[in-house]
Amino acid sequence: MEYRCEATSVAGFVQQLVVAYVGRGYFFYVVGEIPERKDPAAIDEKLEKYGLGIGKTARARRKAAGLANVQYLRYGRVFVLLATRGKHVFFDEERKFIRDARETPIKFGGYAVSYRRGHPHVRIEQQHYLELKAYFADLAVHRAKDSLEHALRRLPFEPYAPVRGQLFCLLRGVNRRRELAQYELVSASCVRVRRRVVLPFAPQIPSHREPEILDCLAEDPMRLTA
C-alpha cells in the first residue's frame, strides 16, 4: 500500500504528528535533517525497511504480539521517525538518538509537541515564545492598534489550547504597556480561538504573510528542531 509521509505545510506536519501519531502512543522518536546532496524521496524509500507501509490490521496484530509500530513524517528536508513501545529494529539502529515525547518535546517550526497527563500537548516552543513576547512588547507602544491586531492575527500558529493561552498572554503583555501609555487597548478578537483542520498531505496554495513577523519567526524550521 502507498505510504504517505510528506507533509505539505507546517500546520499539516504538526496536526499529523499530534493527532495521528503522538496522540496514539507513538512516543519514541528521532528527528533529523536530510542533507542537500541527498534526494528526500530516496531517503523515504530507504526508511521503508522499518515496515512503514502496513495497514491498520497488521499494526494491530503487531501491537498484540508485543511488537512496536513505526511511523515516518517529513516536511521538506526535516523528518521525524516515531515508534510505539515494543520490539523493533528501530530501537537497535536508532538507540543513540531516540527521545521520548513524554520527557522531551518534539520541536518543529516554532512548536513543541509532547505528551502530558494522558494527552498530546502542543505549545509554542519556549525560546521562540520568549522572542515573540519581547518582539510584541517592543511594538506595543510604537504601533497603532489596528497594526498590532493585524500582526497578532497573522501569527502562523494554530490555536491548540496551550498555544491559545500563550497568544492571550502576548495580548495581555501588549495591553499592559499600552494601558500605562494611555493608548487604546488591542481587542482580544484578534486572537484566533479555532484551529483550522488541514489535509496534511494535500498540495498547499502559497499565502502572503506579514514579512516583519516572518523575520522574527525564522523561516528555517531546523533552527527550532531538536
Which positions of the chain have pLDDT values less than 50? 208-226
125 φ/ψ angles, rounded to the nearest 5 degrees = -55, 140
Q: Whole-structure pTM over 0.85, yes or no? A: yes
pLDDT, position 223: 37
pLDDT, position 48: 86
C-alpha 196: how far from its chain's center? 14
Name the residue ranges covered by the structural domains of the chain.
Answer: 10-124, 126-204
pLDDT, position 215: 47
pLDDT, position 2: 80
Q: How far is CA 188 from CA 9, 86, 156, 196, 217, in A?
A: 27, 46, 17, 19, 22
Per-residue pLDDT tens digits for 95-108: 999 999 999 999 99
For 211, residues 6+ apart whose C-beta sits below 8 A from its C-beta are none
pLDDT, position 211: 41
Q: What are the grid coordinates assigned to 43, written together?
A: 531517503
Strands 78-83 and 70-75: antiparallel
Cα–Cα distance, 18 to 13 (Å, whole number): 9
